[in-house]
Amino acid sequence: MKIFLLLLLFLCEAQSRATSRPNFVVLIADDLGIGDPGCYGNKTLRTPNLDGLAKGGVKLTQHLAASPLCTPSRASLMTGRYSIRSGKWHLGIHCHNKTDFCHHPLNHGFDYFHGLPVTNLRDCKPGHGSVFTSGIRLLVFIPLQVIAIALLTLAVLKWLGLCHVPPAVFFCLVFLAALILASLLCFLHYFRPLNCFLFRNYDITQQPMSYDNLTQRLTEDASQFIRRNAETPFLLVMSYLQVHTALFASKDFAGKSQHGIYGDAVEEMDWSVGQIVNVLEELNLANDTLIYFTSDQGAHVEEVNSRGEMHGGSNGIYKGGKANNWEGGIRVPGLLRWPGVLQAGLEIDEPTTNMDIFPTVVKLAGSPLPEDRIIDGRDLMPLLLGKHQRSEHEFLFHYCNFYLNAVRWHPPNSTSIWKAFFFTPNFSPEGANGCFHTHVCLCYGHFVTHHHPPLLFDLSKDPRERNPVSPTTEPRFQEILETMQRAVDRHTQTVQRVPNQLSLWNLLWKPWLQMCCSSFFHLSCQCDQEKQDGRVSH
């Protein structure tokens, strides 16, 4: 009887606390695989603080990224919608002029921003290679080779007297080669300062960005944000650069893990999570704060540097990785902690998605959901509190860019999780677990294989997606596919066309929108206010 009363008191307390307005801390890793944290089975990477979140809260074991790529996945997390609905496919700052800041977080509901407004790339860190190697070969080296062969051929023909070649032809070819080389040198020299910089609110604080103690600086600023807002409910979104390449770790973590620079970066990020939790506990805010940790998609398995070192993580038992919709690309860590409200040590194996965080936060904050748009996410609290035993997602749709790639079905009154692929990426080389020839898997043309009928798996029995079912192994094969197709038809009818943010005009570099902390005409774009100020926050 005493146990029952204690349990009843706990449930009443949890219900009462769940109806109050908590603080929210949303922690998003970049390219972290589900097989990387210790709480998801890794035995060699040290992640005690992530493991602590799992031990003190809820671990989701079928938590899914809404997209297997960074930006659309994050757009879905922030909006609660499939990114195909919003068209947010890229990062950026301005739309029309250098003062509109149309993509800036401060123009989308946030009160403070400190971080990298564009993409962390290998090119941002000297000595870590380039993501443009293939493009440089196609646009620079091959044209230079053609020009060299043309010059040599024309010179030989002229020397043999077989044809008359005006000097202007040689001059034009040499000039063209010089122009291509000059363009390459300018690109290599200016790309880093023009694209790798830190913002604080609307101001550039470091250009080019320095990786020295970067995690420590951002973590300290996040801690100061919590301290400044300790007396009022707040939302902190800590979006880590780790473990996207370029990989980095401070001196305190470099060379300390068993997995090279990738492991060092994971363990430093875990340290940062611990620092934020410590601040919450120091300020007696832990019991009033819902913490959510996830990754934007699975680990980038094709990430190998020029020396052959693996710079990508582990997706555990799951097939594939970043940029494809095999489970390794979309099944991600999902940890939630709210002491006194969420049961410690609980594991939930129902399908959930990062789109669910938006409606969960909005409802707990006491605000209504927008009524002028479709919200694809679902409030997680009934599932987390045990009021519901099943996910509200009967169907989930997996996109590869703007192509509908696969659909997931969790039938009522069934333990099965059906997943049907309309096409799958062609891994290369053959037998590999990724698309190493193209660095990421692509979604069109000869890079994919279309399936008629769709390739069907029961993930409840085959989570590794090794053995597709067939009419001979599954009597309801046709019925299952028909049900899933009807769901697809209903879904696609709700998707409206949006402006193409990958149009040629949007992809072209626009110098008049370029951010520079000094006059762009000085061609320097170098400053370090963070270092000069000796501080990390206002």
- 325: which strand partners? none
**Cβ within 8 Å of residue 447, ≥6 positions away:** 425, 426, 435, 438, 441
- Is 451 one of the catalytic residues? no
Catalytic entry in 90, 103, 259, 388: 90
Contact between 383 and 62 under an 8 Å Cβ cutoff? The reply is no
**Which of these, 348, 253, 242, 340, lies nearest to 299 by C-alpha position?**
242
Q: What DSSP string describes 386-410?
A: TS-SS-S-SEEEEEETTEEEEEEE-
Report DSSP state, residue 528: E
Give the integer Cα–Cα distance in Å for 332 and 453. Answer: 28
**Which of these, 68, 70, 115, 102, lies nearest to 89 by C-alpha position?**
70
Give the integer Cα–Cα distance in Å for 344 and 353. Answer: 21
Q: What DSSP string describes 91-160?
A: --S-SSSTT--TT-GGGTT-S--EE-SS---GGGSTTS--TTHHHHIIIIIHHHHHHHHHHHHHHHHHHH
Contact between 240 and 272 under an 8 Å Cβ cutoff? The reply is yes
- Is 90 one of the catalytic residues? yes
Catalytic entry in 12, 39, 70, 441: 70
Backbone angles phi, psi at 203, to 5 degrees: -110, 140
Contact between 439 and 322 under an 8 Å Cβ cutoff? The reply is no
Q: What amino acid positions are annotated as catalytic residues? A: 70, 90
